[in-house]
Amino acid sequence: MKTKLTLSERAITLSIRISGYSSILFVTLILFFLLREGLPAFGDVPLSSLLGARWYPIESLYGILPLIAGSIIVTIGAMLVGIPLGIATAVFLSEVSPSWIKNILKPVIEVLAGLPSVVLGFLGIQLAAPFFRQFLNLPTGLTAFTGAMLVCEKFFPAWLYAEDEPFVAAALGGLHAAGIPATTSAYRFCTNAAYSAGIAGVPTVGFGPATEADAHVVDERLAIPDLQAAARGFQAIIESVLL
């Protein structure tokens, strides 16, 4: 029997649908704009020029190899700096720091993780590039090192949430009320939370049935009682966090 939705539930459902359809529409419009503006270039610029080693549009040189190489160098540099720093920060906030430091640093890290690339680029040109040029005595501050320093905060771990975080505490409370003795820990493998919590800045909590040792292995398996318990757990999280 289908449950009749209340007015507020219908409004929430409608807003979610509008948001979903709007996202599809915006992505489609962006794709259309990119194709409309970019495809003519393939007719005006020879393929040999696109595969060249110099990018200097003033002299009609459109080689994309420096752009690709620069992106790879910046990403590797950001990983070398960001991953150790992110793990050390997470351990410090979770295990060492007093609560007053945690209350200051956590919002700062979450804001940094949510900064879009356009904002990072603007801050890099206006602040980071002049600083590194003067501090390191370089002819220019627009270097791969500057880019790596700006991007490295994107590699902060996504599990930087303590058990007393409101939405984590609510999720745990719901699980415990459903008779599931869940505890907080950190995943030792990559999940989608690397984007949702680490990049998009959306508070994220992970929950799954069985044990981590049984997941992401060749003979991955799940017992039926664990699956049923997980269904109760997801319902409990939804009711305690969202309702």
pLDDT of res. 171: 85
Of 155, 182, 204, which one is at a domain's C-terminal end?
A: 155
Mean pLDDT of 205-209: 76
Mean pLDDT of 42-61: 75
How many distinct structural domains can be found in the chain? 2
Domain that holds residue 79: 66-155
CA dihedral for 179, 181, 185, 187, sign (positive or negative): negative
Of 155, 175, 206, which one is at a domain's C-terminal end?
A: 155
Determine contact, residues 40/114, Cβ cutoff 8 Å: no
pLDDT of res. 101: 80
Determine contact, residues 173/102, Cβ cutoff 8 Å: no
| This model's pTM is above 0.75 | no
Same domain, 230 and 174: yes
Mean pLDDT of 74-88: 79
pLDDT of res. 98: 79
User: What is the residue whose two structure tokens read 């150790």?
Assistant: 84
Query: 63 pLDDT band (50/70/90 cuts)?
Result: confident
